[in-house]
Amino acid sequence: MNKVDLLSLEPGELEQVIVSMGEPKFRAKQLFSWMHKGVSPEEMRNLPVTLRTRIAENYRTNPVRIMEERISKLDGTRKFLYALDDGNLIEGVLMHYHYGNTLCISTQVGCKMGCRFCASTLEGCVRNLTAGEMLGQILCANRKLAETDGGHVGNVVLMGSGEPFDNYENVVRFLRLLHHPDGICIGMRSVSLSTCGLVPQMIAFAEENLPVTLSLSLHAPSDEIRRSLMPVARRYTMDEVLDACRNYVEKTGRRVIFEYALIHGINSLPEHARMLAGRLRKLQCHVNLIPLNDVPERGLKGVSEWEIDVFRSALEEAGISVTRRREMGDDIEGACGQLRRHYLKQDGDRMLTGEEQ
């Protein structure tokens, strides 16, 4: 029997479920609070035993569990391989900074955007995640932190597998649940959302009153280069994408972050930096340079330290705010999609060699 995912429900919807079970309305607020602490029904101490039993038997309070955890010996970064109720796998990365813990979560099982430099898109998109499955990733991480150092996730980045705006309704629902005062209650200024540039959704999102930090996967200084790397660039030009970014800045007052993966021989030359600066001038923004992890399946290679320094200097000289992304979790397949692909390949190899079924 498929159990109803209660974690995806807003308080009013949860109240309807509780009333349908013959319970008083106030039980919904208690249940909501318990679920967002990541506890099982058995641990919800102020609920009647009969209600806890019915919830455990008929509903799902967290549709996510950690299947494997890897901890980096280099910087303490944790990589989680999450298992979903239907057997699908997703990933999350927990990073420790001086200002707190940041969790990178997935919004889809896989991705269909087809960006050449991204491992999570190689198997395509299986399905969207529910709001509860996104929340569940955070709750599992919080439980792990509570077992070790007593900490919790304070910052969330929607930069794992999937394109958030390709799962627009579930992502917006997730953000509202994430910010709810009776739940995890993480402020929107502690959330970053990364998109490859779905312009209509970017424009709609600016009206949602959810002032998260918008990160745009730009990765190119021109339409020609961007189209060679990102299929979405065949639908929306750089001018259209950058206009949507300007609209977001105007509506929210938040600067936009441009993610730029440096790829040897394609977008990493000083003239590319100068072209990029020309595009971004007078736009309230910051550029985050990302040294590419090699993607052998696509024939793409990263850049040298010298190339990174030259590119960054060219942007700085043009007055563009820029930093280099700190590389974390290199020894635990920290990059998006790597661990999931490892498991999928393992399963495929076992089937080919007759180890299963």
Fold: same for 4-60 and 196-326: no
Give the whole-angstrom CA distance, residue 151 versus residue 94: 12
Ranges 52-56, 269-273, 320-324, 340-344: which has the least confidence: 340-344
Give the whole-angstrom CA distance, residue 11 versus residue 127: 25
- pLDDT at res. 56: 95
pLDDT tens-digit series, residues 266-287: 999 999 999 999 999 999 999 9
- pLDDT at res. 2: 75
Average pLDDT, the chain: 90
Q: What's the token pair of residue 4?
A: 């109803």
Q: Is the pLDDT assigned to residue 296 strictly greater than 70?
A: no
Q: Is 66 exposed, middle or buried (0-12, 13-18, 19+ CB in 10 A)?
A: middle
Q: Is the pLDDT assigned to residue 325 strictly greater than 90?
A: no
> Helix H segments across the chain?
11-20, 26-35, 49-58, 131-148, 168-179, 199-205, 223-229, 238-252, 270-280, 305-317, 338-352
Q: What's the token pair of residue 209?
A: 């009153």
Q: Is the pLDDT assigned to residue 351 strictly greater than 50?
A: no
Given CATH 3.40.50.280, say whether it is the number of domain 196-326.
no
Q: Is the pLDDT assigned to residue 116 strictly greater than 90?
A: no
pLDDT tens-digit series, residues 126-172: 999 999 999 999 999 999 999 887 789 999 999 999 999 999 999 99
Among residues 202, 124, 160, 125, the alpha carbon closest in space to that of 336 is found at: 160
- pLDDT at res. 120: 73
Domain positions in the chain: 4-60, 62-185, 196-326
Known active-site residue 118: no
6 touches 59 (CB < 8 A)? yes
| β-pair partners for 95 | 102
Q: Is the pLDDT assigned to residue 246 strictly greater than 70?
A: yes
Residue 344 binned pLDDT confidence (cut-offs 50, 70, 90): low
Choice among 15, 23, 91, 333 that is catalytic: 91
Question: What's the rounded mean pLDDT across residues 307-316?
Answer: 97
Taking the C-alpha atoms of 143, 144, 146 and 152 in order, what is their torsion angle to the nearest 10 degrees?
Answer: -80
Beta strand 100-104 with 153-158 is parallel
Residue 342 binned pLDDT confidence (cut-offs 50, 70, 90): low
Known active-site residue 336: yes
Question: What's the rounded mean pLDDT across residues 41-51?
Answer: 95
- pLDDT at res. 302: 86
Q: How far is CA 63 from the centre of its chain?
A: 17
Given CATH 3.20.20.70, say whether it is the number of domain 62-185.
yes
| β-pair partners for 97 | 100
Among residues 154, 213, 147, 228, the alpha carbon closest in space to that of 185 is found at: 154
Question: What's the rounded mean pLDDT across residues 83-87?
Answer: 94
Residue 3 binned pLDDT confidence (cut-offs 50, 70, 90): confident
- pLDDT at res. 294: 67
- pLDDT at res. 281: 92
Among residues 203, 189, 192, the alpha carbon closest in space to that of 246 is found at: 203
Give the whole-angstrom CA distance, residue 221 versus residue 262: 11
Q: What's the token pair of residue 52?
A: 């806890």
Q: Is the pLDDT assigned to residue 339 strictly greater than 80?
A: no
Question: What's the rounded mean pLDDT across residues 71-75?
Answer: 88
- pLDDT at res. 354: 42
Higher pLDDT pick, 35 / 339 = 35
pTM of the predicted model as reported, rounded to 2 decimal places:
0.91
Choice among 115, 140, 285, 336 that is catalytic: 336
The arrangement of secondary structure in 4-60, i.e. its CATH architecture, is: Orthogonal Bundle (1.10)
